Amino acid sequence: MHAMVLNSLLSPLAWKELPDRTPGAGEIRVKVAACGVCRTDLHVVDGELPDPQVPIIPGHEIVGRIDAIGTGVEGLRLGQRVGIPWLGHTCGACSYCITQHENLCDRPLFTGYTRDGGFATATIADARFALPLGEAGTDVDVAPLLCAGLIGWRSLVIAGVGRRLGLYGFGAAAHILAQVAAWQNRSVYAFTRPGDVSNQAFARRLGAHWAGGSDEMPPEPLDAAIIFATVGDLVPMALKAVRKGGRVVCAGIHMSDIPSFPYSLLWEERQLVSVANLTRQDGLDFLSLVPKIGIVMKTTPYPLIKANEALADLRAGRFEGAAVLIP
Ligand SMILES: [Zn+2]
Ligand SMILES: [Zn+2]
């Protein structure tokens, strides 16, 4: 197999030939067809997440087909198309796992961060965490659903049922979620980097009711806001934009420090919460809705060997929607 490997933090990924791996008990091997590039991959490369492990193969939006099955695996078959998301393994025994909060497991493994991921021609996964995908949609279009879509979905559920929804940072996750929210008859208010009029136009094309810079206030108070951008300064901005009792959801795994702000922004029962990881049930819930919603994906494909270019373009905001690597 071949992979783009992170050998040391803050360095480019290196193209490497590795011995083929054999799935152990409870594992499957997946021949990768496409793997999305997520902002979290940048945090992994930059060493911004706790306890970084190198060498590691990043990538946690994996679409592929099972080409080997270890002992004791049930319910999956050779050739089946599956998705391998960020949550790669949980202990099944901690207080979070046994109360349907496996996203908060005390002893988890995360794909592309603490176990090898999908910037590769093949990957080994814990079979219990593989999501059956069916055959609808191309591999490239489905890949970004596995993190951008799933984390967006979990964030949307946690944001509550309010109709006016703000999305801060209009990248891969927001471009999917805007369509989900529109399907739910919500009004989306899209906030981009100040002055990024092309991304604002992109948001409007996807059905956003309003689009503007993150330094602007929406024309009406929002019921909820989800922050996908990694900029802590957006937290007080979003709190200012939501109505009394409104909720601000931080969807990213990493954010720059949040500046101090007057208590009046939180007063009147505004809520500030974060979303961490996903559960397998989130995956099943969201993927069952996708065909009904008819999400139009905007993707920019790159050959696997150009992973560093894809990461650089993501960092610089040089494409609309989501980048996807193809082995
Ligand atoms: Zn656990
Ligand atoms: Zn991700």
> What pLDDT is stored for residue 139 in this prediction?
98
Share of the chain above pLDDT 90, in %: 98
How much distance in Å is there from the Cα of 111 to the middle of ligand 1?
16
Query: For strand 210-213 and strand 187-192, is the pairing parallel, antiparallel, or unpaired?
Result: parallel
- Which residues pair with residue 63 across a beta bridge? 34, 83
> What pLDDT is stored for residue 241 in this prediction?
98
Are the C-beta atoms of 234 and 227 separated by less than 8 Å? Answer: yes
How much distance in Å is there from the Cα of 256 to the middle of ligand 1?
28
- The angle that helices 148-159 and 280-293 make with each other, rounded to 10 degrees, is 100
Query: For strand 2-5 and strand 14-17, is the pairing parallel, antiparallel, or unpaired?
Result: antiparallel
For the residues 112-117, what does the mean pLDDT come to?
A: 98
In this structure, which ligand is nearest to the CA of 171? Answer: 2
Read off the pTM.
0.94
SS3 assignment for the chain:
CEEEEECCCCCCCEEEECCCCCCCCCEEEEEEEEEEECHHHHHHHCCCCCCCCCCECCCCCEEEEEEEECCCCCCCCCCCEEEECCEEECCCCCCCHHHCCHHHCCCCEEECCCECCCCECEEEEEHHHCEECCCCCCHHHHHHHHCHHHHHHHHHHHHCCCCEEEEECCCHHHHHHHHHHHHCCCEEEEEECCCCHHHHHHHHHCCCCEEEECCCCCCCCEEEEEECCCCCCHHHHHHHHEEEEEEEEECCCCCCCCCCCCHHHCCCCCEEEECCCCCHHHHHHHHHHHHHHCCCCCEEEEEHHHHHHHHHHHHHCCCCCEEEEEC
Q: Could you give the count of Cα atoms lying within 13 Å of 136 in the half-sphere of its Cβ?
A: 11
Amino acid identity for residue 254 in this structure: H
> What pLDDT is stored for residue 194 in this prediction?
96
In this structure, which ligand is nearest to the CA of 279? Answer: 1
How much distance in Å is there from the Cα of 70 to the middle of ligand 1?
23
pLDDT at 89 over 90: yes
Sign for the CA dihedral angle at 158, 162, 168, 171 comes to: positive
Q: What is the Cα–Cα distance from 143 to 98, expressed in whole angstroms? A: 29
pLDDT at 320 over 90: no
Task: For Cα atoms 245, 182, 313, give the angle at the middle one, nearest 5 degrees.
Answer: 95
Per residue in 24-48, pLDDT (tens digit) is 999 999 999 999 999 999 999 999 9
How much distance in Å is there from the Cα of 142 to the middle of ligand 2?
14
Q: Buried b / exposed e across 285-306, counting CB within 10 Å, b at 16+? A: ebbeebeeeebebbbbebebeb
In this structure, which ligand is nearest to the CA of 87? Answer: 2
Are the C-beta atoms of 250 and 272 separated by less than 8 Å? Answer: yes
How much distance in Å is there from the Cα of 113 to the middle of ligand 1?
17
How much distance in Å is there from the Cα of 51 to the middle of ligand 2?
17
Share of the chain above pLDDT 70, in %: 100
pLDDT at 52 over 90: no
- Round to the nearest angstrom and report the end-to-end CA distance of the chain: 10
Per residue in 119-152, pLDDT (tens digit) is 999 999 999 999 999 999 999 999 999 999 999 9
Instruction: Work out the pLDDT band at 59, boundaries 50, 70, 90.
Output: very high
| Average predicted confidence (pLDDT) for the chain | 96
Per residue in 153-190, pLDDT (tens digit) is 999 999 999 999 999 999 999 999 999 999 999 999 99
For the residues 225-253, what does the mean pLDDT come to?
A: 97
> What pLDDT is stored for residue 298 in this prediction?
92
Report whether the peptide linkage leading into residue 85 is cis, meaning its omega lies within 30 degrees of zero: no
Instruction: Work out the pLDDT band at 88, boundaries 50, 70, 90.
Output: very high
In this structure, which ligand is nearest to the CA of 151? Answer: 2
For the residues 240-267, what does the mean pLDDT come to?
A: 97
> What pLDDT is stored for residue 5 in this prediction?
98
How much distance in Å is there from the Cα of 282 to the middle of ligand 1?
16
Per residue in 286-316, pLDDT (tens digit) is 999 999 999 999 999 999 999 999 999 999 9
**Please, which residues have CB less than 5 A from ligand 2, an ion?**
38, 40, 147
Are the C-beta atoms of 67 and 31 separated by less than 8 Å? Answer: yes
